[in-house]
């Protein structure tokens, strides 16, 4: 069931947006920190803001980042077993076909992460996007997510609550791992699956990312050192980043004020699971600083007989934002070629 609300430097380097770097680091820190959380807690917890003031600070930062997106047609709060999912819809009155695109974000980024891609998507199609349960965002978790079965289940229930029978499912980073889990467990729902730098899906996190993540996570580290570690993971120099970017401020507020409990870590797909995916699949891997596994992950993804696998040159884990126009056009061609039932 859903409740609906109507929504009427002059230097030689060009500064990059700060938020993809923070996003990359957050994913690495959280993903590699899961073992520590398992060892230090008695079981999975429920994601929550630590204080009312922290929630307010995050909400204000979220609203500022969200303002860069096209205005949604409708906002939904969808009830599931594990809590209420905040979803937005951009309804195209004259779509190229009746299969909507559904977007699942990376860790700690929420719906605003799609700001570089949404305008292209909604030009052709109806689009829905979620804030993930158990993560910072405007979804509200009420029960723990014990494993990837539970994690995939809330997505399936949210799709059901929105009345979406057949979709193009798209996930980035940790959201890519979640989208893959949904495809394995609920294949009949998907017209196609798109995985953009999906972590822990075709390979493990690289050692260099784990090492710099450990440095960035040290609580006593000076901010300048931590920022340097974050930038190393993101593949940029310290003078290339903009700390005032709205998305950066939103992610910083989320990581400061939101306790995500112990979200399940995406699981590597087995060979049998990959061979069992029969819907069309598009896999995008970064050429540089990939957290999905780089060329090895791309080779592994070829086990999916229906997969189109591409290593995008001169990209990092922030691939969807770095090559948005080219990627968006390629995905539209991919979706247009999906056979109709």
The CATH number for 89's domain is 3.40.50.1820
Determine the average pLDDT of the residues in 232-236: 60
Residue 341 within a domain: no
Confidence of residue 33 (pLDDT cuts 50, 70, 90): very low
Whole-number pLDDT of residue 231: 65
Residue with the larger pLDDT of the pair 207 and 315? 315
Determine the average pLDDT of the residues in 157-162: 98
Whole-number pLDDT of residue 38: 35
Determine the average pLDDT of the residues in 191-218: 82
The pairs formed by 92-98 with CB atoms below 8 angstroms and a separation of 24 or more are 92/122, 92/123, 92/124, 92/125, 92/126, 92/127, 95/124, 95/125, 95/126, 96/124, 96/125, 96/336, 97/125, 97/336, 97/340
pTM, two decimals, is 0.87
Whole-number pLDDT of residue 205: 79
Confidence of residue 269 (pLDDT cuts 50, 70, 90): very high
Residue 212 within a domain: yes
Tally of domains within the chain: 1
Whole-number pLDDT of residue 12: 37
Mean pLDDT (the chain) is 85
pLDDT of 9 strictly over 60: no
Determine the average pLDDT of the residues in 198-224: 75
Residue 13 within a domain: no
Whole-number pLDDT of residue 243: 66
Residue 220 within a domain: yes
Whole-number pLDDT of residue 40: 38
d(CA 326, CA 321): 10
Residue 14 within a domain: no
Residue range of the domain that includes 172: 2-8+19-336
Most confident range (mean pLDDT) of 16-25, 128-137, 285-294, 314-323 is 128-137
Q: Assign 167 to helix, strand or coil.
A: strand
Whole-number pLDDT of residue 5: 41
Whole-number pLDDT of residue 244: 74
Determine the average pLDDT of the residues in 144-162: 97
Residue 116 within a domain: yes
- Please give the structure tokens belonging to residue 184: 């394995």
Whole-number pLDDT of residue 306: 97
Residue 104 within a domain: yes
Residue with the larger pLDDT of the pair 21 and 129? 129
User: Percent of the chain beyond pLDDT 70?
Assistant: 78
Residue 128 within a domain: yes
């Amino acid at each position: 069931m859903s409740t609906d609300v109507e929504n009427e430097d002059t230097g030689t380097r060009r500064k990059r947006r700060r938020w993809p770097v923070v996003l990359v680091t957050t994913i690495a820190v959280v993903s590699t920190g899961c073992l520590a959380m398992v060892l230090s807690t008695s079981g999975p917890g429920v994601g929550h803001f630590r204080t009312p003031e922290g929630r307010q600070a995050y909400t204000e930062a979220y609203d500022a980042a969200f303002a860069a997106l096209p205005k949604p047609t409708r906002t939904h709060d969808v009830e599931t077993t594990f809590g209420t999912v905040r979803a937005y819809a951009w309804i195209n009155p004259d779509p190229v076909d009746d299969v909507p695109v559904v977007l699942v974000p990376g860790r700690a980024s929420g719906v605003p992460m799609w700001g570089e891609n949404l305008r292209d998507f909604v030009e052709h199609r109806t689009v829905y996007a979620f804030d993930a349960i158990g993560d910072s965002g405007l979804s509200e978790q009420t029960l723990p997510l014990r494993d990837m079965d539970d994690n995939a289940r809330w997505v399936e229930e949210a799709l059901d609550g929105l009345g979406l029978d057949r979709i193009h499912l798209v996930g980035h980073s940790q959201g890519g791992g979640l989208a893959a889990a949904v495809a394995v467990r609920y294949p009949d729902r998907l017209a196609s699956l798109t995985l953009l730098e999906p972590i822990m899906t075709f390979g493990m996190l690289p050692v260099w990312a784990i090492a710099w993540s450990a440095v960035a996570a040290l609580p006593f580290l000076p901010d300048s050192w931590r920022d340097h570690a974050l930038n190393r993971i993101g593949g940029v120099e310290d003078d290339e980043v903009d700390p005032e970017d709205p998305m950066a401020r939103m992610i910083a507020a989320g990581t400061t004020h939101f306790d995500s409990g112990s979200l399940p870590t995406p699981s590597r797909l087995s060979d049998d699971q990959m061979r069992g995916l029969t819907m069309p699949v598009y896999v995008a891997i970064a050429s540089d600083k990939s957290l999905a596994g780089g060329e090895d992950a791309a080779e592994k993804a070829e086990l999916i007989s229906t997969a189109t696998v591409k290593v995008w040159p001169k990209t990092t884990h922030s691939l969807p934002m770095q090559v948005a126009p080219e990627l968006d056009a390629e995905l539209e061609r991919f979706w247009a070629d999906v056979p109709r039932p």
